[in-house]
Structure 1
């Protein structure tokens, strides 16, 4: 990746993690990967599913999450390679 692209990705990731709910999502996915929105919603309690979907989309677009679709569900995981490069705190 070119240095400028690298910096742009870093900005997207830090912006995504700057929101407390997104940081909680990243930490949850570190512990238990391959989770769908409804399961994460149950673990976060006070976050509406529509809001949670928005957070997950932003995190995936930053490159911090990977996703796979199965039927009508999308399962998310923390991209540990990206996390180790840009946000090693998440993996501690």
Structure 2
């Protein structure tokens, strides 16, 4: 049986990716990492910045995204190792 911590993280990641916009965000960040909210918003067209920010926070809390702060901007990237382990579909 899998480690309980692994299972808990898997559940968080699957919940995060269960929302179509978040899955799109994951694919966008797989293709081009280190993106800020405004750039992702342009690529997603119909998603408000506040909604996008909420999605990114959920994904970061699940462990699927890493981020760095630079001034007032936050740049997000897909954590490739986590994606390979828990969501290999993203990596195909």
Provide the TM-score with structure 1 as the length reference.
0.98
- Identify the residue that residue 49 of structure 1 maps to in structure 2: 49
- CA deviation after TM superposition for structure 1 residue 12, in Å: 0.2
- Identify the residue that residue 69 of structure 2 maps to in structure 1: 69
Unmatched 5+ stretches in structure 2: none
- CA deviation after TM superposition for structure 1 residue 31, in Å: 0.1
Query: Moved runs in structure 1, 4+ residues, more than 4 A?
Result: none
- Residues matched between the structures, number: 91
Partner SS, residue 75 of structure 1:
strand
Partner SS, residue 56 of structure 2:
helix
Coordinate RMSD, CA, aligned: 0.8
